[in-house]
Amino acid sequence: MDHRIEKMEQYAKEYHIPIMESDGIEFVLDYIEKHHIKNILEIGTAIGYSAIRMCLVHENITVTTIERDQERYELALQNISEFGLENRIKVLYQDAFSVELEETYDMIFIDAAKSQYIKFFEKFEKNLKPNGVIISDNINFHGMTHTKEPILSRNVRGIVRKLNMYIDFLKENPNYNTFFYDIGDGISVSIKQVK
Ligand code: SAH
Ligand code: MG
């Protein structure tokens, strides 16, 4: 394993940055490779870990990624330049809800505020190519979207309720065929249906 990747993983652990879990990222990288994904839109850059790893799958991959936190945005730029990927990863320092994009993508990866997933999906699906896929991370939210145990924190309860609404939204969405995987912190893969 590349020491620069390990360095990012250690940093994330030390400073509690919620980067993708290792099983989860491996699953997504595999998906990108198998489906010849070329351009990716990511909502939620953090320090650039997943963007960099996705980009490294193949030299023709480009990533546009959005981050609203200034410190994380700056760390992401630093990490991206350590890999010399400035020309293939474009980081937008903005709130995703104020971003307007014209381009269309093979894949949209949603990994930002967990209570806003339906809104991210609805905002960016116009930027998805006809055969494109929307992948979302943290669908299980540490197992809490499935648990029957009472959740004590009101804040966490709110997030779990919203994630469950997102799961139903995906299941009922006739324009996408969605698969759910118990990998990492739970991943959904929503494939746009061609009509
Ligand atoms: N994809 C990253 C982890 C992202 S963590 C990885 O696996 O390496 C989620 C990030 O989304 C946080 O850094 C947070 O600041 C950012 N975020 C949350 N809501 C956002 C929004 N509305 N617009 C832009 N960024 C957002
Ligand atoms: Mg995540």
Q: What pLDDT was estimated at residue 194? A: 82
Is any atom of ligand 1 closer than 6 Å to the C-beta of 41? Answer: no
- Compute, in angstroms, the gap from residue 89 CA to the centroid of ligand 2: 19
Q: What pLDDT was estimated at residue 134? A: 98
Cβ(17)–Cβ(31) under 8 Å? Answer: no
**Residue 66 CB partners (closer than 8 Å, separation 6+):** 41, 42, 43, 44, 45, 91, 92, 94, 96, 99, 112
pLDDT at 28 over 80: yes
Which is it for strands 176-181 and 128-137: parallel, antiparallel or unpaired?
unpaired
Residue ID of nearest Cα to ligand 1 atom 16 = 44
| Residue from 22, 68, 187 whose mutation best tests the ligand 1 pocket (most atoms within 8 A of CB) | 68
Q: What is the mean pLDDT of residues 86-107?
A: 98
Q: What pLDDT was estimated at residue 166? A: 97
pLDDT digits (tens, 9 = 90+) for 136-178: 999 998 888 888 888 778 888 889 999 999 999 999 999 999 9
pLDDT at 109 over 80: yes
Ligand closest to the CA atom of residue 65: 1
All structural domains of the chain with their residue ranges: 20-192
Cβ(40)–Cβ(64) under 8 Å? Answer: yes
- Compute, in angstroms, the gap from residue 158 CA to the centroid of ligand 1: 18
Query: Reduced to 3 states, what is the DSSP secondary structure of residue 87?
Result: coil
Ligand closest to the CA atom of residue 141: 2
Q: What pLDDT was estimated at residue 162? A: 94
* pTM metric for this prediction: 0.97
Ligand 2 ion: nearby residues, β-carbon < 5 Å: 111, 137-138
Q: What is the mean pLDDT of residues 29-40?
A: 98
Q: What pLDDT was estimated at residue 146? A: 85
- Of ligand 1's atoms, which has the minimum distance to the CA of residue 94? 24
Is any atom of ligand 1 closer than 6 Å to the C-beta of 72? Answer: yes
Is any atom of ligand 1 closer than 6 Å to the C-beta of 122? Answer: no
Give me the CATH topology for the region 20-192.
Answer: Rossmann fold (3.40.50)
Ligand closest to the CA atom of residue 44: 1
